[in-house]
Amino acid sequence: MSDSRETRRADALSLLQSIFAEVGDGPIDSALLDPSQAAYSGSNPTSWDELPAEGLVLKLDENQYVLTPGGWAEALARADVPSDPQFLKRVGQLCQVLKAHVKGRHRSILVPFEDIVKASGLPSGWVFNVIDSRLISRLHGRKDAFWFQSARGRIVDIPRDFGLESVDLFADLRAENERLKEEAEHFNDLYGYSRCSTCLAPLVTLGQWEHEYGSEEVMEYACGMTVGAPNGDVPCTRDPRFPKFEEFELITRREGNTWLCYASHTPKSRFAGSVHLTRTCGKTEDEARQAMKEAYLRRAAPWKG
């Protein structure tokens, strides 16, 4: 009996995870993957055809494959890496280095990749993969840095408004796992303001963020409450000022066979604008709206200690 579609897909995705683990902090363009390596012995050989078909892996020849930027980002998201405090710290460090280059400037700037690596103190391969996959915009929808023309791995083009709202970088990354809670405990020992004044959720991010008009201290709590963000404070989900779903204006738009739904804030709600809801999509207009409603409910869920 042949494997079901689901089994094949599960096997391909598990192979993707093995590849991701093997690549580690190495740059994806030069981490050559050989299917005969012991690390992949548990995988079905057909998975090596499925991943290239989905654009996650690129086949160079029979024995050599490389992870694509999309494959790296997909594997990272599936491994739940974006909620890992260590990962958050790295992204924050890299963002600060990139942002520092465009601070006070009126146009974008080209910076040698090596300079960015050196200034960030992060593994070169990891920085390469983040820029190569445009991870910052992929995960958070923010203005991201990218390779200058064909200078992949050599010159980074940092837009003037890079990560202007990058305070929101962490807004999607809710504290839903133990690791993040441990990080919060660590912060509690180090700083004051360690709990949300409304629901007592712990502080999860404390940072100094540069923006065009100066710098501000930003505190973000596990419930989503953010204080000091340049683009406005975000209330706790238990705060009566936290925007109701009705306070967002839903804007739908058809793109090909897909309906997109955007949640925009209306002038009647002071705080809706501070709560960012990522665009949703669906096969029908109703489906896209429903997806937005669900995204809102997830965002508005009270923090559970």
Which residues are at the interface with Zn ion (CB under 5 A)?
Answer: 196, 198-199, 201, 223, 225, 236
Minimal distance, residue 218 CB to Zn ion, in Å: 15
> How far is 29 from 15, CA to CA, in rounded Å?
18
- Identity of the residue, 65 or 221, whose beta carbon is nearer to Zn ion in the bound complex: 221
Distances (CA, A) of 232 to 6, 224, 263: 44, 13, 17
* Smallest separation, CB 170 to Zn ion (Å): 15
- Token readout for 259 is 């309906």
Least distance CB 236 / Zn ion (angstroms): 3
Residues in contact with 234: Cβ distance below 8 Å, sequence separation at least 6, in sequence order: 171, 220, 224, 225, 226, 271, 274, 275
**Cβ pair 157, 145 in contact under 8 A:** yes
CB of 85 to Zn ion, least distance (A): 19
Q: Which of 207, 235 has the CB closer to Zn ion? A: 235
* 158 or 201: CB nearest Zn ion: 201
Looking at the Cβ atoms of 76 and 223, the one nearer to Zn ion is 223
| 8 Å CB contact between 266 and 248 | yes
Residue closer to Zn ion (CB basis): 94 or 196: 196
Residue 261: alpha-carbon gap to chain centroid: 20
Cβ count near 51 (within 10 Å) = 25
Closest approach of Cβ 171 to Zn ion, in Å? 13
DSSP H or E stretch at residue 253: strand 248-255
